[in-house]
Chains A and B, each alone.
Chain A
């Protein structure tokens, strides 16, 4: 298999005993096409056979399904580690004992605020039930965690909530953004402004550093701040953490809806993103199909819009959480304004708007390039070139900075402008050739590089570039 799934989220039912204000699935009563127990057991077997290591059972409210202990047991017996996300209403001692006996690994309880706010979002007494559930789980020695959906309703009380969770003995805490889908779509005033993402990252960092509860920002929160890396290192208890390489959907994970529909992520529920149904095809067939999950597996940075298209991290994050962009802006390719780095780029651009000293701009940008700060250098050089479009060194520097940001078309454009100033500019022609090579026009790139090495300003480095390109081309 080209892609090995290791995890999935299964919404086992759409039935729920609450009507939460932020519910992304607008859950209410169970739907008639919900998988039967037999179908669900069969699916459990397929999940295990595919080699998944983890699964999260959610809903709706998964505990409203009478056969949930059976599903947990089947999965855990087959070696899949099972986590369940519940609102805690039905999690009394008897249920907790059943889950434990079935082999549950973790029980996560959704908590969206201190008592008053949580009950307002969910239902009266919801907080008491959740608190009682945490106590029972602790007594039975079941690993437990909290999950919080952050909206304008609760962002201001996160610190209080943290203290509450710690008092309840909760050891792990996932936080995620409330996005405009389902019930939350009807409550636009609940939605956070993009700038709040940095506040959330700061809060998670502060929490992680305190070390009293492990905090896990979900994939919709980020990206690429050093604080996130620190949070991961602390919460995962390892120094060996990697920078995020994009959404898991269709690459390392998938979602299963109540009726057996398979999709990349249970949040992206549009019919266009349903890859198949396990009542019609096997899970393995759906996963392995080369046309499945193509929206994720084949997405390229060049398809993104706005700042994301030219972002230095673009080839890594591919725009960040696709559901954030789909729900906020209607497209998985749209710019992600809920990205900390996107906010940073906006700030940098604003800062440069009024700077007019050309040589100072060049000096700073040149220094930044030498220190690997390519994106900011490119922005500063763009400002410089707005002031002085024919600044040769700035064009060459910007071309290089864009190249290092992975923006090969822009690199080409800047080098072309430099060549218009001097058609014998070996450096510009060489840079153009290399960008072309990166874009896949290898044959043409080699031709351009052959021209570059013959120019008066050529260097032995360009000769080496040519030799390398020729070796790679043939």
Chain B
């Protein structure tokens, strides 16, 4: 199985795969990574009201563009015996090189993006830069120093990307809302709505 992705150099994108890790003990693992891409974080999210179905989310950052077309390979392994492999998946990534100045991520309609408040120099300053006030170590959470990285990165996860791609339940960051790799997942929806508007 494979799917195509387009990713900008210097930006973050994600790959989402479904598994039944909780019941079958088989889950997706990253088996190879090109040097142009780094793995930044992972997330496991129960989906569809069924405890056994997991949406495994892998966040990747594009750090180079020596090769424009690269592959990221995944295998579905049994976690108690890693030699057993049930499936393979390849993400074919086309990298768009970045040749210009980097700008801070911002959209007035992005709910969790870095929409900071004015920098008010008062004692009870509420300087916000995508982090909830009062969280002292917001910049270092889950080991990922997001405070000094991209404006869209929060708690190690690219919140800007996350919210841009998930609108009213439709994960448009994923090429197909209903990822099926031999497992039944969401109720199939005929209409495709990759651009759900937040407001």
> Contacts A225-B101, A239-B148, A406-B108: A369 and B127 contacting too (C-beta < 8 A)?
no
Interface of B: prevailing SS? loop
Shortest B95–chain A CB gap in Å is 10
- How many Å lie between the Cα of A366 and that of B194 in the bound state? 9
User: Is B197 a contact of A465 with CB atoms below 8 Å?
Assistant: yes
User: Is B6 a contact of A427 with CB atoms below 8 Å?
Assistant: no
* Cβ-based interface call for A437 (8 A): yes
Nearest B-chain residue to A240, judged by Cβ: B127
- How many Å lie between the Cα of A403 and that of B197 in the bound state? 8
Of the listed stretches A181-189, A285-293, A339-347, name the one at the interface; the rest are far from the partner chain: A339-347
* CB contact list, B122-178 vs A, under 8 A: 122, 127-129, 131, 139, 147-148, 150-152, 160-161, 164-165, 167-170, 172-173
User: Is A344 a contact of B160 with CB atoms below 8 Å?
Assistant: no
- Interface residue from B94, B113, B152, B191 paired with A459 (Cβ < 8 Å): B191
- How many Å lie between the Cα of A462 and that of B139 in the bound state? 36
* Cβ-based interface call for B121 (8 A): yes
User: Is A461 a contact of B170 with CB atoms below 8 Å?
Assistant: yes
- Interface residue from A233, A242, A313, A400 paired with B128 (Cβ < 8 Å): A242
> Contacts A53-B121, A438-B199: A243 and B151 contacting too (C-beta < 8 A)?
yes
Nearest B-chain residue to A404, judged by Cβ: B107
> Contacts A241-B119, A242-B129: A374 and B107 contacting too (C-beta < 8 A)?
yes
User: Is A341 a contact of B191 with CB atoms below 8 Å?
Assistant: no
* Cβ-based interface call for B63 (8 A): no
Nearest A-chain residue to B173, judged by Cβ: A370
User: Is B195 a contact of A434 with CB atoms below 8 Å?
Assistant: no
* CB contact list, A429-474 vs B, under 8 A: 430-431, 434-435, 437-438, 457-462, 464-465, 468
Task: From A227, A243, A344, A406, name the one whose CB has the most chain B CB atoms within 10 angstroms.
Answer: A243
* Cβ-based interface call for B35 (8 A): no
Complex interface: chain A residues within 8 A of B102 (CB) = 225-227
Tally B residues with Cβ within 8 Å of A.
58
> Contacts A243-B116, A374-B107: A368 and B8 contacting too (C-beta < 8 A)?
yes
> Contacts A241-B129, A242-B127, A461-B196: A406 and B107 contacting too (C-beta < 8 A)?
yes
* CB contact list, B64-119 vs A, under 8 A: 94, 96, 100-110, 113-114, 116-119
Task: From B129, B139, B152, B190, name the one whose CB has the most chain A CB atoms within 10 angstroms.
Answer: B129
Complex interface: chain B residues within 8 A of A370 (CB) = 6, 13, 161, 164-165, 172-173
> Contacts A363-B6, A461-B196: A340 and B101 contacting too (C-beta < 8 A)?
yes
User: Is A404 a contact of B164 with CB atoms below 8 Å?
Assistant: yes
User: Is B191 a contact of A371 with CB atoms below 8 Å?
Assistant: no
Nearest B-chain residue to A393, judged by Cβ: B194
- How many Å lie between the Cα of A13 and that of B52 in the bound state? 75
Shortest B194–chain A CB gap in Å is 8
* Cβ-based interface call for B5 (8 A): yes
User: Is B96 a contact of A367 with CB atoms below 8 Å?
Assistant: yes
Complex interface: chain A residues within 8 A of B190 (CB) = 457
* CB contact list, A393-436 vs B, under 8 A: 396-397, 399-400, 403-406, 426-427, 430-431, 434-435
Shortest A20–chain B CB gap in Å is 30
User: Is A224 a contact of B106 with CB atoms below 8 Å?
Assistant: yes
Complex interface: chain B residues within 8 A of A243 (CB) = 104, 106, 114, 116, 129, 151
> Contacts A252-B120, A403-B109, A404-B107: A464 and B195 contacting too (C-beta < 8 A)?
no
Nearest A-chain residue to B102, judged by Cβ: A226
User: Is B197 a contact of A431 with CB atoms below 8 Å?
Assistant: yes
Complex interface: chain A residues within 8 A of B96 (CB) = 364, 367-368
User: Is A371 a contact of B12 with CB atoms below 8 Å?
Assistant: yes
Complex interface: chain B residues within 8 A of A252 (CB) = 118, 120
- How many Å lie between the Cα of A227 and that of B148 in the bound state? 11
User: Is A315 a contact of B199 with CB atoms below 8 Å?
Assistant: no
Complex interface: chain B residues within 8 A of A462 (CB) = 193
Complex interface: chain B residues within 8 A of A406 (CB) = 107-109
- How many Å lie between the Cα of A152 and that of B151 in the bound state? 34
Q: What does the 1/0 interface line of B1-20 toward A look like (CB < 8 Å)?
A: 00001111001110000000
Shortest B127–chain A CB gap in Å is 5
User: Is A434 a contact of B199 with CB atoms below 8 Å?
Assistant: yes
Known contacts A242-B129, A313-B106, A344-B101; 10 additional CB pairs below 8 A are: A198-B101, A312-B106, A367-B5, A367-B13, A372-B160, A400-B197, A457-B190, A459-B191, A461-B170, A465-B196
Q: 7 tightest CB-CB pairs across the interface, nearest first? A: A367-B6, A242-B116, A400-B195, A239-B147, A461-B168, A226-B102, A434-B197
Q: List 24 A-B contacts (CB under 8 A).
A: A226-B150, A229-B104, A229-B151, A230-B148, A233-B148, A239-B147, A239-B148, A242-B117, A243-B114, A243-B151, A367-B13, A368-B96, A371-B8, A371-B11, A372-B161, A400-B195, A405-B107, A431-B195, A459-B193, A461-B168, A461-B170, A461-B196, A465-B196, A468-B199
Give me the interface of A with B, judged by CB distance under 8 Å: 6, 53, 198, 224-227, 229-230, 233, 238-243, 245, 251-252, 312-313, 315-316, 340-341, 344, 347-348, 363-364, 366-374, 396-397, 399-400, 403-406, 426-427, 430-431, 434-435, 437-438, 457-462, 464-465, 468
Give me the interface of B with A, judged by CB distance under 8 Å: 5-8, 11-13, 94, 96, 100-110, 113-114, 116-122, 127-129, 131, 139, 147-148, 150-152, 160-161, 164-165, 167-170, 172-173, 189-191, 193-197, 199
